[in-house]
Amino acid sequence: MTYSAHFRIWRGSAAGGSLQDFDVDVSEGEVVLDIVHRIQATQAPDLAVRWNCKAGKCGSCSAEVNGRPRLMCMTRMSVFTEDEAVTVTPLRAFPVLRDLVTDVSFNYTKAREVPSFAPPEGLAPGEFRMQQVDVDRSQEFRKCIECFLCQNVCHVIRDHEDNKPAFAGPRFFARLAELEMHPLDTVDRRKRSQEQHGIGMCNITKCCSEVCPEGIKITDNAIIPMKERVADRKYDPVRWLGARIGRR
């Protein structure tokens, strides 16, 4: 069964742009990315859109659909009524390059700021063992496909460009938690999380967890435990006393 849908797609560049209207056929079972591709094939060949896998695994096709950050390839047309206009706009937290394509290099900069996994020196192959419970815990964070929907929706940077230098964002809090909870990682990431990555600026709104297509409980399983570890380190009375004595 086919029907005609009304799409509104943002077109433009860093200099500015506007919504452009399209009427386009939709068939049963199609997703938003199929329709964007049909528009590109039949009405707007120069429409810029980033995608790759069409299977919810590459994290490329992130956009805002009717105001909600989503993967276009995983958003079925059946979630909208046939007479509902579908508005597709680029991610708002990152600079627009063209049409639906944004410059997400902020995230790569933040990724490079997280020190990599550092196992104890001299650990031979075969001595590298973990309990299943530790494997399971980091497995959740390793499902991340780096779609950056969580980064896009977090109000700390979405509404405040000037916070970007000091704030790594939820995706990288999950990475920090993954490494901090790894039993063989030797780097103490608690002080860094506070001072270099800005975890204190997160006020636990949980919007990041709500939009994650992998269902990662970013706030509950990464950010809150990391905040607790940061607080433990900061307010541990033994450490506090040690620091006072050390200053004398």
# chain residues binding ligand F3S, by CB under 6 A: 12
Is residue 17 classed as helix, strand or coil in its secondary structure?
A: strand
**Residue 64 beta carbon to ligand F3S: minimum distance, rounded to whole angstroms:** 15
Q: Which does 174 bind (CB under 5 to 8 A by kind): ligand SF4, ligand F3S, ligand FES, none?
A: ligand SF4
Q: Which of 62, 67, 222, 56 is nearest to 151 (CA)?
A: 62
Q: Is 96 in the site for ligand F3S (CB under 6 A)?
A: no
Is residue 8 classed as helix, strand or coil in its secondary structure?
A: strand
C-alpha to C-alpha distance for 19 and 239, rounded to whole angstroms = 57
Q: Which of 28, 17, 42 is nearest to 100 (CA)?
A: 17
Q: Which does 73 bind (CB under 5 to 8 A by kind): ligand SF4, ligand FES, ligand F3S, none?
A: ligand FES
C-alpha to C-alpha distance for 242 and 172, rounded to whole angstroms = 31
* C-alpha torsion 119→109→229→214, nearest 10: -90
Q: Which does 61 bind (CB under 5 to 8 A by kind): ligand SF4, ligand F3S, ligand FES, none?
A: ligand FES
DSSP 105: H
- Among 6, 54, 206, 217, the residue binding ligand FES under the rule CB under 6 A is 54
Cβ nearer to ligand F3S, comparing 35 with 198 = 198
The residue range among 3-11, 17-25, 51-59, 228-236 that interacts with ligand FES, by the rule CB under 6 A, is 51-59
Is residue 42 classed as helix, strand or coil in its secondary structure?
A: helix
- Among 203, 215, 244, 246, the residue binding ligand F3S under the rule CB under 6 A is 203
C-alpha to C-alpha distance for 24 and 200, rounded to whole angstroms = 46
Q: Check residue 208 and give left, alpha or beta (phi > 0: left; psi -120 to 50: alpha).
A: alpha
The single residue listed with the structure tokens 């901090």 is 180
Is residue 34 classed as helix, strand or coil in its secondary structure?
A: helix
Q: Which residues bind ligand SF4 (CB under 6 A)?
A: 144-150, 171, 174, 211-214, 216, 218
Show contacts with ligand F3S in window 157-186 (CB under 6 A). Answer: 170
If one counts every other C-beta atom within 10 angstroms of the C-beta of residue 72, the result is 24
Structure tokens at 163: 């916070």
**Residue 186 beta carbon to ligand F3S: minimum distance, rounded to whole angstroms:** 26
Cβ nearer to ligand FES, comparing 58 with 187 = 58
Show contacts with ligand F3S in window 31-70 (CB under 6 A). Answer: none
Q: Is 223 in the site for ligand F3S (CB under 6 A)?
A: yes
The residue range among 48-56, 75-83, 128-136, 163-171 that interacts with ligand FES, by the rule CB under 6 A, is 48-56
Cβ nearer to ligand F3S, comparing 98 with 206 = 206
Task: List residues near ligand F3S by CB under 6 A.
Answer: 154, 156, 170, 202-208, 219, 223
